[in-house]
Amino acid sequence: MDVLILFVMVVGLMLIGVPIAVSLGFSSILFLLWFSDTSLASIAQTLMQAFVGHYTLLAIPFFILASSFMSTGGVAKRIIRFSIACVGHLRGGLAIAGVFACMIFAALSGSSPATVVAIGSIVIAAMTQAGYTKDFAAGVICNAGTLGILIPPSIVMVVYATATDVSVGRMFLGGVIPGLMAGTMLMLAIWIMARVRNMPAGDWLGWGEIWASFRDAFWGLMLIVIIMVGIYGIPGITGAIFTPTEAAAVASIYAFIAAVFIYRDMGPLSSQGEGKNSTLLHRPQALLTAFWHEDTRRTLFEAGKLTVTLMFVIANALILKHVLTDEQIPQKVAEAMLSAGFGKVMFLIVVNVILLIGGQFMEPSGLLVIVAPLVFPIAIELGVDPIHLGIIMVVNMEIGMITPPVGLNLFVTSGVAGMSMMRVVKAALPFLGVLFVFLIMVTYIPILSTWLPTLMMGPEIITR
Amino acid sequence: ADTAGCDDGETVIKFAHVTNTDKHPKGIAAEMLKERVNEEMEGKACMEVYPNSTLYNDDQVLEAMLQGDVQLAAPSLSKFETFTKQFRLFDLPFMFKNIEAVDAFQQSDAGQAMLDSMQKRGLQGLAYWHNGMKQMSANKPLIMPEDAQGLKFRVQPSDVLVAQMEAIGGSPQKMAFSEVYGALQQGVVDGQENTWSNIYGQKFFEVQDGTTETNHGVIDYLVVASVDWLDSLDEDVRDQFTTILNEVSQERNAAVNEVDMEARQAILDAGAEIRELDADQRQAWVDAMKPVWEQFTADVGQENIDAAQAINAGL
Amino acid sequence: MHPAPGHRLVDRVEEALIAFILGAMALITFANVVARYVFNSNILWALETTVFLFGWMVLLGASYCVKKSAHLGVDVVVEMVSLSARRLLALVAVAVCIAYSFLLLKGAWDYWANFANLPQTLGRWFPLGFEENFRPKAWYEVNDIPNPAMLNFLETLMNDGDPYEKLPRFIPYAVLPLSMALLLYRFVQAAILIWKGRLDRLVASHEVEDELAEVRAQRGEEV
Ligand code: NA
Ligand code: NA
């Protein structure tokens, strides 16, 4: 009962415009002061430990930084050109290329809204010009953008791994096949719609264009290779080189080098628009000045600010988690569910419902921090694989992002496309159906999530 | 209102630890303690266990204890470095011949005195809990100390353990515990050191070439409470509680060797390699690692080293 | 209605600090990878330094984001109601935020004080004076970061002359009371702006508002 008051308070505060982080933190503090003997100082300790005690969360700022360097530079543009060269000639080709580009960018970026902004800001305009309706274009990108958190790297997966102590690397592998599948299903749905509605097809630009656009996008695509090879190695050739957290840091350094010294879209060698970029030979001092160049500082700051807003939510969600643990709520929830005789199937339905409802109000990472510890012990008890549970959660978060009232991708798409929220909601609806089918598949076919991690890293060990 | 199942008027004892409740020696002991306290001290005290680092990790829990937010904890001995450097004794390689020597030292005057050594910093040691002797594993056979040359070892970030790995030419690395399995498997690090039950529990043996039975160190835990909390208890409550704790500690410590050997056997049954050292090989490891002692003698006290060595000699 | 991006000195200092900390975090972590993989060595203090920097960036950045109304939130309801109701909601919301940061400031002080040999406050909800007897904890060191020689003077000042092998915890933890005080200050400022009708909400509805503003600007829309 007490807990119900807590959750009602969190949602109520959020709805009147209190920042999510403060809603979580303030409700937790009141709950703690009223119902327990624990001190206010313990809240401050938890706040500090959100950073100091969770090494894996470090991946978040680094993946955000890598993605910022990649979007500030023109990498998104190059990826789109490559996507169009590959699939643009199919019926509905530009839309399919949009999904394809979202999948590729998702493999560079850990966030869904970032994916929508990077790809959507270019593709939606291009699609409208090519004769698609704006609603269709917005609906496609709004949905495909959710792949940002399913295809690794993924901020939401890092948060899940941190909250439940499973390996980040394993979680990332778990997302690969579902991510490719969801993307393929979306592309297939578009292709069918395009045939039915007789949508435009682009010209086949030839293998030359595929090769040329690939070469142009190469340095951006290399980031995917660096992350994957760095974390997992190449079987038979090299072992892994770094942990997922380090991979994120290396990715951000690489993205900086690619944007400033290779593509020269930004930084001291960039001509800022007109004219030819200069080279290191002409301006060797750029090797140093690049570090404090205005563009570098700006990108660092933007990524830092984004990290601050996300992590402040996560840190306060960790406070709520701490208070729930202190009051032994997870055990009680587990007891209640198990004594109600829940089996695996029923349990997974309940998890889906909780997350779908929660996802209507909450920012995904914060929601995961709270829900994962509540359901994880039950999942283990019922023999649900932790990675499978994690992927289910991520797919739920994806759906939450494209359903009102709180849907990060809806907001962002409405901004990118210059459409009203309600119009975007309607536009996204047909593809939402695809994601729902996908959610059911992911929920009841565990092998989709567990096959690749088991193949690469052996069977999951459960030490709890 | 207390939502956690304790009655009003009972002294609440929150015990936070970092392992599971049914497979790890510490978790098993904690559950046993909880059951006995809740049964025998009904109406006087009530114990709640928070396992799996759900409430606090080893680093936070001591801060929270001094703050008064948790009453009981059992971090590994190396976590007490900041409170007193004496506990570095237990990290020093080849200080104890086997777990019996560790036990004898802990029960000796020197070991018991160490329980009181943190009082001025607000902590009181109550009991030692065994985990076991440390073994060493890597992605290649470790027979002689030279085999460890150039290998990257994941260690607890204690100065002694860093020095120990450097003494055999290894490169000590720090990383989150949840990433160790993946890091060993993928080759981010080459090896690690741990007790049989940890190596089995974390399945490290699956991703290593083999484990060498070095018994070169010990992982044990210290059950602690804050001085202020202990002082606040009624004398009969305190006495009954410490009596129960001592009985549980004795019972579990006596059984821990068995748990350790079961884990060792389970590793063998799983088809993994365990390499035993002959006397010369073992001596080579001792010769390579023992110089580390000198560096820390002032911290741990020559008299404690002497006491430990006297016990080794007597076994 | 968001306040225009400021270019005051304080803004620039805060922005530079956020950028610098994030850059330092990435470089230190990268250096550790290079040390391990290229030189088969290690930087044992790298991880702990990075997580402390992480905490500093987010905690200090939180007050900056209050100033810029950048904290994530839900403005669906706020958008639906009349202007006067909106102002009322904003006032209630900012009152909650002030209460939150006040309680956290007390908690942060109580947590940090003993680490710096200072007294905690008394009282469960509100500070009712300072405790008289307490156990100073300035001897409490971090795990990995060595104490730099230039801080050796702290040994006599804080630690009865005992040497610090590692950095004492009160230094990294100092960010807690500092950042919570700043947070309280920024929320009070926001409250004044809302009262005067110059600000109508505390939150941003998603994380990429700046990027969106750029896209809109490129489309020639008014931002
Ligand atoms: Na991604
Ligand atoms: Na939603």
What DSSP line would sit under chain B, residue for residue? Answer: --TTSPPTTSEEEEEE-SS-SSSSHHHHHHHHHHHHHHHHTTTTEEEEEE-TTSS--HHHHHHHHHHTS--EE--BGGGGTTT-GGGGGGGSTTSSSSHHHHHHHHHSHHHHHHHTTTGGGTEEEEEEEEEEEEEEEESS--SSGGGGTT-EEE--S-HHHHHHHHHTT-EEE---GGGHHHHHHHTSS-EEEEEHHHHHHTTGGGGSSEEEEEEEEEEEEEEEEEHHHHHHS-HHHHHHHHHHHHHHHHHHHHHHHHHHHHHHHHHHHTT--EEE--HHHHHHHHHHHTTHHHHHHHHH-HHHHHHHHHHHHH-
Q: In sequence order, what are the residues at sequence separation of 6 or more whose Cβ sits closer than 8 angstroms to the Cβ of residue B30?
A: B15, B17, B21, B49, B51, B74
Average pLDDT over residues A22-39: 92
Give yes or no for a contact between A400 and C206, defined as CB atoms under 8 angstroms apart. Answer: no
Give the position of tokens 């669906």: C76
**The predicted structure's pLDDT at residue B5:** 67
d(CA A398, CA C183) in angstroms, rounded, equals 32
Q: CB B82 to CB C141 under 8 A?
A: yes
Nearest partner of A74 among A259, A274, A262, judged by Cα: A259
Contacts 24+ apart (CB under 8 A), B304-309: B304/B86, B304/B89, B304/B110, B304/B114, B305/B89, B305/B92, B305/B95, B307/B105, B307/B108, B307/B109, B307/B110, B308/B89, B308/B95, B308/B96, B308/B101, B308/B105, B308/B110
Report which of A355, A415, A403, A399 is spatially closest to residue A379, judged by C-alpha positions.
Answer: A355
Q: Write the CB contacts of A125 (distance below 8 Å, at least 6 apart in sequence).
A: none
The CA-based angle A370-A374-A379, given to 5 degrees, is 130
pLDDT, mean of residues B7-21: 86
Q: Please say whether the beta carbons of B308 and B96 come within 8 A.
A: yes
Using CA atoms, how far apart are residues C139 and A179, in angstroms rounded to an integer?
50
**A113 preceded by cis ω (within 30°)?**
no
Confidence band of C184 (pLDDT split at 50, 70, 90)? very high
Taking residues B260-276, report their average pLDDT: 91
CA-based nearest distance A312→chain C, Å: 7
Which candidate in C54, C78, C126 is best for mutational testing of the A interface (most A CBs within 10 A)?
C54
Q: Which of C185, C147, C160, C166 is nearest to C63 (CA)?
A: C185
pLDDT > 90 in chain C, percent = 57
In the predicted structure, residue B1 carries a pLDDT above the cut 90: no
Q: Within a 13 Å sphere around the CA of B250, how many CA atoms are in the beta-carbon half?
A: 6
| C54, burial (CB in 10 Å: exposed 0-12, middle 13-18, buried 19+) | buried
The chains found to touch B (3+ Cβ pairs under 8 angstroms) are A, C
Residue B130 pairs in a beta bridge with B220
d(CA A425, CA A404): 7
To the nearest whole Å, the CA of A336 is away from the closest chain C CA by 32
Tell me the C-alpha distance between A217 and A223, whole Å: 11
Give, in order, the Cα–Cα distances in Å from B264 to each of B180, B251, B275, B281, C96. 20, 21, 12, 21, 57
Shortest distance between the Cα of A97 and any Cα of chain C, in A, equals 21
B140 phi and psi angles, rounded to 5 deg: -145, 165
| A321 vs B239: CA distance, rounded Å | 35
Testing the interface with C: which of B117, B174, B190 to mutate, by most C Cβ within 10 A? B174
Closest-CA residue to B165 (of B14, B81, B285, B36): B285
Confidence of residue B2 (pLDDT cuts 50, 70, 90): very low
CA distances (Å), origin B143, targets A356, A379, B195, B284: 55, 42, 18, 9
User: Quick check: A72 pLDDT over 80?
Assistant: no
Confidence band of A188 (pLDDT split at 50, 70, 90): very high
Q: Is the pLDDT of residue C3 over 50?
A: no
- C-beta neighbour count of B38 within 10 angstroms: 17
pLDDT reported for residue C6: 52
d(CA B241, CA B82): 27
Interface test with C, best of A32, A51, A360 (most C CBs within 10 A): A51
Convert the pLDDT of each residue in B158-213 to its tens digit. 889 999 999 999 999 887 776 788 888 878 899 999 999 889 888 889 889 999 99
pLDDT at B223 over 90: yes
pLDDT at C187: 95
pLDDT reported for residue A244:
86
Q: Which residues of A touch C126 (CB under 8 A)?
A: none
Q: Which of the listed ranges A33-42, A301-310, B289-298 does the model predict with the highest average pLDDT?
A: B289-298
Instruction: Please choose, from the candidates A354, A365, A412, A445, the residue with its C-alpha nearest in 3D space to the C-alpha of residue A113.
Output: A412
Average pLDDT over residues A432-436: 90
Q: For residue A409, which ligand has an atom nearest its CA?
A: 2
Q: Say what the pLDDT of residue C4 is.
A: 44
Measured CA to CA, the distance from residue C51 to residue A62 in angstroms comes to 12
Cα nearest neighbour of A165 on chain B: B178
Reported as a single tens digit per residue, the pLDDT across A265-293 is: 777 777 766 567 777 767 777 777 777 77
**Burial degree of A159 (CB within 10 A; 0-12, 13-18, 19+):** buried
Q: Element (H or E) spanning A242, and its range?
A: none
The answer to whether the Cβ–Cβ distance between A239 and B186 falls below 8 Å is yes
Q: Burial level of A257, CB count in 10 A (0-12/13-18/19+)?
A: middle
Q: What is the mean pLDDT of residues B289-295?
A: 94
The pair phi, psi for residue C196, each rounded to 5°, is -80, -5
**What residue type is A296 in one-letter code?**
T
Asked if B67 and C111 come within 8 Å (Cβ–Cβ), the reply is yes
Per residue, the 3-state secondary structure of A350-378, as one string, reads: HHHHHHHHHCCCCCHHHHHHHHHHHHHHH
Quote the CA–CA distance of B179 and A61 in Å, as a whole number. Answer: 19
- For the cut 80, the answer to whether the pLDDT of residue A124 exceeds it is yes
Structure tokens at A217: 């996008």
Count of domains for chain C: 1
Name the closest ligand to CA A227: 1
Q: Which of B63, B152, B159 sits opposite C36 (nearest CB)?
A: B152
Indicate if the pLDDT at residue A373 is higher than 60: yes
The mean pLDDT of chain A is 87
Identify which of C193, C164, C171, C203 has the alpha carbon closest to the alpha carbon of residue C72: C203
Are C135 and C118 in contact by the 8 Å Cβ rule? The answer is no
Measured between beta carbons, the chain B residues lying within 8 angstroms of C47 are 174-175
Instruction: Report pLDDT digits (tens) over C64-107.
Output: 999 888 888 887 788 888 888 989 999 999 999 999 999 999 99
Write down the residue that tokens 């269709």 correspond to: A136
Distance from CA of B183 to the nearest CA of A (A): 7
pLDDT at A73: 64
Q: Which two tokens stand for residue C160?
A: 């009865």
| Cβ neighbours around A454 below 10 Å, total | 17
Which among B38, B53, B65, B69 is the top mutation candidate for probing chain A, defined by the most A β-carbons within 10 Å of its own β-carbon?
Answer: B69
Looking at the CA of A411, name the nearest ligand. 2
User: Token pair of A303, please?
Assistant: 């990524």
Asked if B82 lies within 8 A of C137 by C-beta distance, the reply is no
- Write out the two tokens for B77: 């001995």
Give the max Cα distance, chain A.
73
DSSP A240: -
Residue A267 and residue A295 in contact, taking contact as beta carbons nearer than 8 Å: yes
- Decide: A84 and A94 in contact? Cβ < 8 Å: yes
What's chain B's length in residues? 315
Contact C136, C157 (CB under 8 A): no
Examine the pLDDT at A173 and tell me if it is beyond 60.
yes
Q: State the pLDDT confidence band at A202, using cuts at 50, 70 and 90.
A: confident
Rounded-to-10 torsion of CA C94, C98, C99, C101? 130
Question: What chain C residue is nearest to A253 in terms of C-alpha separation?
Answer: C26
Render the burial of A66-82: b for 16+ CB within 10 Å, e for the rest. Answer: bbbbbbbbbbbbbbbbb
Residues in a beta bridge with A100: none
Q: Do the Cβ atoms of B274 and B211 come closer than 8 Å? A: yes
Q: Chain A partners of B202 at a C-beta cutoff of 8 Å?
A: 461, 463
Q: Among B54, B69, B176, select the one facing A56 at the smallest CB separation.
A: B176
Q: Which residue has the tokens 């595929």?
A: A210
> Which residues numbered 117-146 in C keep a CB inside 8 Å of some CB on B?
135, 137, 139-141, 143-144
Is residue A230 exposed (0-12), middle (13-18) or buried (19+ Cβ within 10 Å)? Answer: buried
| Residue C178 predicted with pLDDT over 70 | yes
Range of the domain at C180: 5-219
pLDDT tens digits for C7-51? 688 888 999 999 999 999 999 999 999 998 888 788 889 999 999
> C166-168 and B274-276 as β-strands: parallel, antiparallel, unpaired?
unpaired
Q: What does the block give as tokens for A276?
A: 């030819």
**Which residues are registered as beta bridge partners of B276?**
B213
Q: Are B168 and B145 in contact (CB under 8 A)?
A: yes
Chains that touch C (3 or more CB pairs under 8 A): A, B
Scanning every residue of chain A, which has its alpha carbon at the shortest distance from the alpha carbon of C93? A18
Residue A461 is predicted with a pLDDT of 63
Q: Residue C1 — pLDDT band, cuts 50, 70, 90?
A: very low
CB B219 within 8 A of CB B132: yes
Could you count the other beta carbons within 10 Å of the beta carbon of residue C212?
A: 21
Looking at residue B89, what is its pLDDT? 94
Question: Cβ contacts (< 8 Å) between A457 and chain B: which residues?
Answer: 182, 185-186
Least CB–CB distance from C74: residue in A14, A50, A418: A14
The tokens describing A247, both together, are 């991979």
Contact at CB, A464 and B52, closer than 8 angstroms: yes
Residue C145 has pLDDT above 90, yes or no: yes
Residues 34-53 of C with CB under 8 A from B: 36, 40-42, 44, 47
Q: Is A460 left (phi over 0), alpha (psi -120 to 50) or beta?
A: beta
A105-117 pLDDT, tens per residue? 999 888 888 888 8
Mean of pLDDT values over B238-250: 95
Distance, CA of C102 to CA of C105 (rounded, Å): 5
Q: Which ligand is nearest to the CA of A398?
A: 2
Rounded to the nearest angstrom, the distance between the alpha carbon of C81 and the centre of ligand 2 is: 21
**What is the pLDDT confidence band of residue B3, given thresholds at 50, 70 and 90?**
very low
